[in-house]
Amino acid sequence: MRIAVFHPGAMGSKLAAQLVVAGHEVRWVPDGRSDASKARADEAGLIGASFDDAVALADAVLCSCAPQGAVDIAEQVGRAGFAGLYVEANPLSPKSLQAARSAVPDATFVDAGVVGPPPTGGPSPTHLMLSGADAETAAGLWAGTAVTPMVVGSEPGAASAAKSSYALYNKGKAALAVLAFQLAEKHGVTEALIAQQTRADGGSLKDAGLPEQLRSVAWRWGPEFDELAETLDAAGLEGDVARALRQVWTKLS
């Protein structure tokens, strides 16, 4: 199958690489992208093309980017008249997801969400949550690869909800750990905090370098927490929790 991927970042390039492993012909658009993106695309075995050619030749489109760019990409693909399988693999709120879905009216829309590290075949699995009428078709794209597809619902929204639930827990505790280290540093008691890493509930406190390590992803995780806040609001839950934690990523970036 011929697939276009927008845009191959740290996660998107690895998802695309596994599509190449599965035998698909995968294109991307190098125009305006960074040298780092080009290096990732080359390593993944992707084929460079113009936007028009990438979409026109595609049977399927994979959108895996920072959440703040997802609706814009869907709108561009929709304006190009794409009518194939559109896999939206960004952590979006119900409102943003509906906007992306409406932007590609001629496409078969599948909601997706990645849980886990970029797929490399390592010990920690990469689960690709999928939902929608053609979720099984989308799952088949990664057959026999390091990606483990999981169909979680028949309607778009279920996959994003599954991804958002895990992200709230996993990245939420990371934000709390960053705050804990920052508070300890302000009072000169970082070593005392690190000493608690031997406790069974020490969790993320085992790495004093966590704030600096997460600085490189804070620009992307911040908008993800904006989407999480709206997702919680839509469910009648405490969206202000995500809004507060969003400030951790704002200041870290």
Tens digit of pLDDT for each residue in 82-135? Answer: 999 999 999 899 999 999 999 999 999 999 999 999 998 888 899 999 999 999
148 and 166: one domain? Answer: no
170 and 45: one domain? Answer: no
148 and 116: one domain? Answer: yes
**pLDDT at position 201, please?**
79
CATH number assigned to the domain comprising residue 144: 3.40.50.720
Chosen domain end from 99, 127, 154: 154
Burial of 222 per CB tally in 10 Å (0-12, 13-18, 19+) = buried
Chosen domain end from 119, 137, 154: 154
129 and 175: one domain? Answer: no
Per-residue pLDDT tens digits for 41-62: 999 999 999 999 999 999 999 9
143 and 171: one domain? Answer: no
Chosen domain end from 125, 154, 183: 154
180 and 102: one domain? Answer: no
Per-residue pLDDT tens digits for 139-192: 999 999 999 999 999 999 999 999 999 999 999 999 999 999 999 999 999 999
Q: In what order do the strands lie in the sheet with 2-6?
A: 47-48, 25-28, 2-6, 60-63, 85-88, 108-115, 126-131, 147-153
pLDDT at 199 over 70: yes
73 and 175: one domain? Answer: no
Q: Are 127 and 165 within 8 A, CB to CB?
A: no
* Enclosing domain of residue 203: 162-252
Structurally, the chain folds into a number of domains equal to: 2
CATH number assigned to the domain comprising residue 241: 1.10.1040
**What DSSP character marks residue 148?**
E
145 and 167: one domain? Answer: no
146 and 168: one domain? Answer: no
**DSSP characters for 76-128?**
HHHHTT--SEEEE-S---HHHHHHHHHH-TTSEEEEEEEESSPPSS-SS-EEE
**Dihedral of CA 144/100/28/228: which sign?**
negative
196 and 125: one domain? Answer: no
What is the pTM for the complete model shown? 0.94
171 and 219: one domain? Answer: yes
Per-residue pLDDT tens digits for 146-157: 999 999 999 999
**Nearest to 62, CA basis, from 4, 103, 128, 118:** 4
**pLDDT at position 206, please?**
67
116 and 236: one domain? Answer: no
**pLDDT at position 84, please?**
98
208 vs 190: CA distance, rounded Å: 8
Q: Are 47 and 28 within 8 A, CB to CB?
A: yes
pLDDT at 205 over 80: no
**Tokens 């869907």, residue located:** 74
pLDDT at 209 over 90: no
**What DSSP character marks residue 46?**
P
In the chain, the percentage of residues whose pLDDT exceeds 90 is 89
246 vs 71: CA distance, rounded Å: 20
